[in-house]
Amino acid sequence: MNLPPTARLGLLGLTLALSACSALEGDKIDYKSASKGSTLEVPPDLQQLSRETRYATPGAVVSANALQAGQAVQPSGPSAAIDSLGDVRIERAGNQRWLVVNRPADKLWEPVREFWLENGFTLMLDQSNLGIMETDWAENRAKIPQDIIRATLGKVLDSLYSTGERDKFRTRLERNASGGTEIYVSHRGMAEVYSSSAKDATVWQARPVDPELETEFLRRMMVKLGASQEQAKAVVAASVQRPAAARVATVNNVPVVQLAEGFDRAWRRVGLALDRTGFTVEDRDRSQGVYFVRYVAPGTDKKEPGFFSKLFSGAPAATPPLKYRIVVRSEGEASTVSVLNASGTPETSANAENIVRVLADDLK
């Protein structure tokens, strides 16, 4: 049917209006790395810093390179929620989940690396000596409404659509005493928001961690490692949540997080919490219970305080990267997490109080 130009324009406008009201397909995942298009202007506190010379601690130090040598890790206690599938099992505490695979880390690195590439991501950090890989910021294209115009014209207009959200994922592999490997996946997200009441400019701001998105990628990773889709879904659904109480306290005038868990589980969960909350873990020494971390202060633009403004809102705009040691100490089935400064002295500042609160919130 031939329509006059004005009618065609009207039909186009009606189609666009209807598509804006369509439901998002939130149950699908179809990522496209931002590195394949224009580079995002990411706030400095949402970027990972390049690595510097590692810290040293007194005595015998087992650095992150011990991943290659298979450093000793005590097996999980009987309180762990474990669901097995072949040589893969999933553990859960609070809103955190991770995989335990009865294979050496060096046999899993390449399959896990392929997994992220196959899911549409570009790896910005790929360091097997640290056991860490991290994706670029990527967009879940499945959240874009599948309207008539997009379905008809396909890739011609595809680049004009955007969800206004970006995600990145950090994967950490650690060996355990039995020769197997623990795999942790942590999510960080951004959302594009208007920066003025006139709505003529936008900025990227952090959005909350999505534990369900982490779980979905762990499920898909189980499939990559040999499980069927149905088996992986069943195992994830069957995982039982165990109490994971964490509370903030003060011990000898030092702010701490207290956990009702032994060292093994506390160490693992604190590492995942650090990944989630945006700290740069430069190195880790499990034998001493120490994570060496670095934090990028918010940008100089006070109107855009950045991801950690709620933690360090009183810090000067030009604050250099802050260096800390997050220490896990345990006695039996109780653990304490504290903050030390770069020289190893207990930190009692407001920054330390804010850090332990953020960690406690994620560990609940």
Is 5 exposed, middle or buried (CB count within 10 Å of its CB: 0-12, 13-18, 19+)? exposed
52 vs 215, more confident: 215
pLDDT at 101: 94
**Dihedral angle over CA of 17, 163, 219, 35, nearest 10:** 140
Better-predicted residue by pLDDT, 299 or 134 = 134
Decide if 173 contacts 183 (C-beta within 8 A): yes
pLDDT of residue 161: 61
pLDDT of residue 133: 94
Instruction: Specify the pLDDT at position 41.
Output: 45
Residue 217, pLDDT score: 94
Can you list the positions of beta strands (E) in 154-219? Answer: 165-175, 181-194, 202-207
**pLDDT value at residue 313:** 52
Percent of the chain with pLDDT over 70: 64
Residue 73 has pLDDT above 90, yes or no: no
* pLDDT top residue among 12 and 251: 251
Q: Which pLDDT value is given to residue 147?
A: 58
Question: What average pLDDT does this structure show over 339-354?
Answer: 90
pLDDT at 318 over 70: no
At residue 151, does pLDDT exceed 90? no
- Average pLDDT value over all residues in the chain: 73
Chain segment 29-70, per-residue pLDDT in tens = 788 765 544 444 444 444 443 333 332 333 333 333 333 333
Neighbours of 146 (CB within 10 A): 12
Q: What percent of the chain has pLDDT over 90?
A: 30
pLDDT confidence of residue 171: 95
pLDDT tier for residue 84 given thresholds of 50, 70 and 90: low
**Residue 78 pLDDT:** 38
The pLDDT tens digits of the residues spanning 243-298 come to 557 889 999 899 999 999 899 889 989 999 998 887 888 888 988 999 999 865 44
Residue 115 has pLDDT above 60, yes or no: yes
Residue 24 has pLDDT above 50, yes or no: no
- Residue 337: per-residue pLDDT: 96
3-state secondary structure of 314: coil
* Predicted pLDDT at 296: 56
How far apart are the C-alpha atoms of 112 and 121, rounded to whole Å? 12
**Buried b vs exposed e over 26-54: b needs ≥16 C-beta within 10 Å?**
eeebebbbbbeeeebebbebbebeeeeee
Give the contacts of 34 (CB within 8 A, at least 6 positions apart). Answer: 40, 136, 137, 138, 139, 166
Beta strands per DSSP E along 26-66: 31-33
Specify the range with the lowest mean pLDDT, choosing from 6-10, 124-128, 158-162, 298-302: 298-302
Note the pTM of the prediction, 2 decimals.
0.65
Residue 39 has a pLDDT of 44
Say how far apart CA 140 and CA 31 lie, in whole Å: 4
